[in-house]
Copies of this chain bind each other. A is one copy, B any other.
Amino acid sequence: MNKLEKITPLEQDFAKWYTDVVKQGQLIAYGPAKGTLVFKPNSYGIWELIQENLNKIFKQKGIQNVYLPLLIPQKLFELEKEHVNGFNPELATVTRVGDRELSEKFYIRPTSEVLFANLFKNSIESYKDLPIVYNQWANVLRWEKTTNPFLRSREFLWQEGHTCHSNALEARKLTREMIKVYAKFLKKYLAIPVVIGKKTSHEKFAGACSTYTIEAMMKDGRALQAGTSHYLAQNFSKPYEIIFKNQDNEYINVFQTSWGVSTRLLGAIIMTHGDNHGIVIPPRVAPTQIDILELFADKSEEVKEISKKLNKELSKKWRVRVDSTNKNPGFKAANSEIQGTPLRIEIGPRDLENKNVTIVRRDTLEKITVKIKDVKNLVGNLLDDIHENLYESALKRLNENSVTVFTYDDFKKEISNGKFVTAPFCCLDEAEVRIKEETGASTRCIPLKLDKPEKNRKCIFDECKKETNRYVVFAKSY
């Protein structure tokens, strides 16, 4: 690649800005089948760091990684009716091998509840075998009609946790614990603040008893569901006959949970931190944390020398990449920016005369002239600063764009302003469908924490005359 194309300003056309950023940022290429993606090193590297860091957290919690098959026999899938109805229109089906028609058809997994159910059924005997807390890193397929890189593609990568417990209490507790693990992870590693809450019955996972979610706010005000944790109760363990003998020698169905985050998180990073120069990758998951740019190296041996020295020194602790091409300084800077590298160090002959180099922060684009000997000490602090700044900016935006309303008129106005709108709402599925038709907004969650909610306010749904204490966050969403 020798030239960088312009990125559409995000104020002008957010959707176009997004697709420009994913393509120009060396993040993806489109796959040969519609709605499929190639994860290039700059995006797959983020995913690998998400994996690495989540795995550390999982390991501390005693979660064990396993790998289950890609294909689900049709008959096995169809035991849990709500689950199958939720996924059926999106199921890619293998019917043939070579020139032979198969007598039994197979679905490519859209999620693995039924595969885990089958495994658990055959491996659990007594309460001594419980709890089982497994996790799988895998690809899944859902044949989406409209697709969007990272956000909604036909194949995506994720982790899916699946657990079995001897009692409902323990399973419910883990369901809530995992959604908090995700919220903390997004804050600490991706610099993304979220609203934690419970899905309404209309929005919960097909087959779950209840679903918890973390909802992040994108720069256009729309919500992105960034992770979910489901309490499955005995909804799968009954049809799939996952039974154990309890301490009283009774045979009981296990209680289950499942939870996951996916490569959607890459979309969340882009739309939370990105700007008109491209993606901004939070330092702790940046495949390259520091770009070293050699400027006018053909005119100065010293540039190469200092570059080599700094690379050696910084690589011990951080992920460093050196641009030693003979492209011009402007191109190199723009290329580093468009790829979202948190820090770049420009080494040029003029700075070197004073034993200086220039460090540029990707988040603020601030330029800092610094003595070569001080670079190492400064870099660690700057990377932490960038993380903090990204998080604080996103949190400020989330707070400033979250409102509580009590009338349907205000509701409609604030939704069209692109806000997260909290409102008293007691109604069921049909009302949610109507509100979505009228405003484009869906229920995101019933937040776990709410600042001093007013009691007994009229439900926001026009036709409902009841008062309620249940507050729900609505927003337009991805």
Query: Which A residues are closer than 8 A to B by beta carbons?
Result: 1-2, 29, 31-33, 36-41, 44-45, 47-48, 64-73, 76, 88-99, 104-106, 108, 115, 118-119, 122-123, 125-126, 128-129, 134, 138-139, 141, 143, 154-155, 157
Best-buried of A68, A126, A139 by chain B (most CB within 10 Å): A68
**B32 x A48 contact (CB < 8 A):** no
Bound Cα distance A40, B72 (Å):
18
**Cβ A98 vs Cβ B108 within 8 A:** no
In the complex, the answer to whether A38 meets B90 with C-beta atoms within 8 Å is no
Q: How many copies does the complex hold?
A: 2
Q: Are A143 and B31 in contact (CB under 8 A)?
A: no
Residues of chain B contacted by A134 (CB below 8 angstroms): 41
- Since A1-B125, A92-B96, A138-B139 are in contact, a sample of 15 more A-B pairs with Cβ atoms closer than 8 Å, ordered by chain A residue number, is A29-B123, A38-B68, A39-B68, A40-B66, A41-B66, A41-B134, A44-B65, A48-B65, A70-B70, A70-B155, A88-B99, A92-B94, A92-B106, A93-B97, A97-B143
* Contact between chains at B93 and A94 (CB < 8 Å): yes
- How far is A343 from B56 in the complex, measured between Cα atoms in Å? 24
- Say whether, besides A96-B95, A129-B1, A31 and B90 are in contact (CB < 8 Å): no
What are 10 A-B pairs at a CB distance below 8 A? A2-B128, A32-B115, A33-B69, A33-B71, A33-B73, A39-B66, A41-B66, A70-B70, A71-B154, A108-B108
A120, chain B: closest CB distance, angstroms: 10
Q: A33-B71, A115-B31 are in contact. Are A65 and B45 (CB under 8 A)?
A: yes
User: CA A91 – CA B105 in complex, angstroms?
Assistant: 14
Give the chain B neighbours of A48 by CB distance below 8 A: 65
| Minimum CB–CB distance for A272 against chain B, Å | 22
Query: What's the minimum C-beta distance from A64 to chain B, rounded to whole angstroms?
Result: 4
User: Chain B residues with Cβ under 8 A from A88's Cβ?
Assistant: 98-99
How long is the Cα–Cα vector from A32 to B1 in the complex, in angstroms?
Answer: 47
Q: Which residues of B contact A89 (CB under 8 A)?
A: 97-99
